[in-house]
A and B are shown apart, each in its own frame.
Chain A
Amino acid sequence: MSIVIEARGLTKNFGKFTAVDNVSFTIEQNRIYGLLGRNGAGKTTIMQLLTGQDFASSGDIAVFGQSPVENANVLANVSFIKESQKYPDNFKAKHVFAAAPSFFANWSQELADQLIVEFRVPMGRDVKKMSRGQVSAVGVILGLASRAPITFFDEPYLGLDAVSRQLFYDRLLEDYAEHPRTIILSTHLIDEVSDLLEHVILIDEGRILIDSNAEDLRGSASTVVGKSRDVAAFVEGRDVIHRDGIGGLSSVTINGQLSQAERVAAVEAGLELVPVSLQQLIVRLSSLETSEGTVK
């Protein structure tokens, strides 16, 4: 196991607002990470801190063991195309792609050319006149073709249609298989990327809620459905993250792996166990604080 990024006690304040609040985590080499969370959770800020685009208020960041701030040794290994990436007003798409190769030692022109055709990027059009989806496609192509050892994708698919999103996931996996690298992807469309992610870091209000292997996470919560009394008896003493009920029936989501014996017990009690998707789990966990007060 090799660590490419380590953050310890990372904090970023904007005036009185704490965007990132004493966060610590590590990123291992050549894995695909999902940086998940709601709007304004602090995902982009964390990425900006990790790439030296912004300055931490306190805490340490080590990328390849060094601070990324103004460090060409680190930044030569990094590609970070923001969701809100600015392109010069006087640049057409062809100018963006003409400029990119000299900044990325691993740049693959072949892959870029292929993706430009597949994503139907209008090369002769000013970037500022492109649709949101076309601008996103430019960013996605830069991120993939740069083949940077650490590649950040910040909400890469805003405005991309379903076909283009699928294309992005497919090309990302194919290219990752041939050229392993560390990929950190922030996204709202959790179900769509759920199979892609190897590790999930969930951020809410600047703090880490989950930092876990995606595989463990997928089986880590279940929803128990059945008669209210039976459900209540079964979930007694467990970590309940969501409750729903109509009449005498209820549906309760519990956090934590269930053993085989427990599963058998649930079925014998006439309860149904429904797997919880990554997206549902994350929605439940991130909304826990706000919904807690209304739980019956």
Chain B
Amino acid sequence: MTTTVATPTLTPPSEFSRILHVMRLHLVNRQVYIGIPWLILGGVFVLSLIIALLINYATGDPTGSKLGMQYSWAVISPLWYLAAVAVLAISQSFPFALGFGVTRRDFYLGTSLLFVTSSVVNAIALATLALIEESTDGWGIGAKMFTSLFFDGTWIANFFVYSVVQLGIFFIGACIATVYMRWRVMGMLVFWFGFALVLVGTIALITLTDNWGPVGGWLVAQGTVGIFAWLLLLVALAAFFGYFILRRATPKN
């Protein structure tokens, strides 16, 4: 009897289709990335309008809420949910996808494509809503939600800032989850203590060299868009490290 090595029976789809399949795997339950975030945002929007009406009633000024609502955090409320989604994408969908014969590489690229697509689509919608809010003078009642916090620039600036905030939540959340997937509890301990050390160290450095003035000046000079451009760099780093950490991670029980 001669012994031969069998050749693979099935050939995989092209790399791009494999990545799209991973993206679709995340979207099989539409609620996760689309339904629930917009449900949260819709609910918060209704609440914001009610609060604006209350302030207007109390101040007797039909646009009285305008100033106070500049610091409303309502628009970023879906982000906390999306942070959890990003962590679950790695901690649960990764082991699930490997059972379907997905490579780590395809999984990460497909998941990243989803993160980017979702961030960009949401940012287009949010920047457009900000534009409407602006042009209707706060939905006719001086309410502020989509133009609050740092989202009060032009459409393109808002689009950029909204995109970066969501990309940050997705990729930094996922990166931290990959550290857990690769090194478990010990990885988390090292990561969070390391993070705290860097943070405290930076504060100490600035304080001891008496540099808070220049640092503040530098931040002001960057402007909102500039600061978010720096954050985008941080997001890119998280995405980069996430990839290499996941490439050697194993879905243990």
Contact = CB atoms under 8 A, between A and B. Distances in A.
Interface of A: 1-4, 6, 29, 44, 48, 51-55, 62, 64-65, 70-82, 84-92, 95, 98-100, 102-106, 142, 148-149
Given A55-B250, A88-B88, A100 B6 contact: no
B91 to A, nearest CB: 8
B4 interface: yes
Contacts of B28: 91, 95, 98-99
Nearest to B104: A70
B11 A103 contact: no
A4 B8 CA distance: 8
B100 interface: yes
9 contacts: A53-B251, A77-B8, A81-B99, A86-B251, A88-B88, A89-B88, A89-B92, A91-B29, A104-B100
Contacts of B93: 88
Contact of B96 (A52, A85, A104): A85
B253 interface: yes
Q: Is the interface of B mostly helix, strand, loop or mixed?
A: loop
Contact of B250 (A3, A53, A71): A53
B1 interface: yes
B9 A149 contact: yes
Interface of B: 1-13, 15, 18, 21, 24-25, 28-29, 31-32, 88, 92-93, 95-96, 98-106, 247-248, 250-251, 253
Contact of B5 (A65, A70, A76, A80): A65
A263 to B, nearest CB: 30
A64 B101 contact: no
Contacts of A51: 98, 101
Contact of B12 (A2, A72, A84): A72
B101 A75 contact: yes
B11 A1 contact: no
B12 A73 contact: yes
Contact of A72 (B99, B103, B248): B103
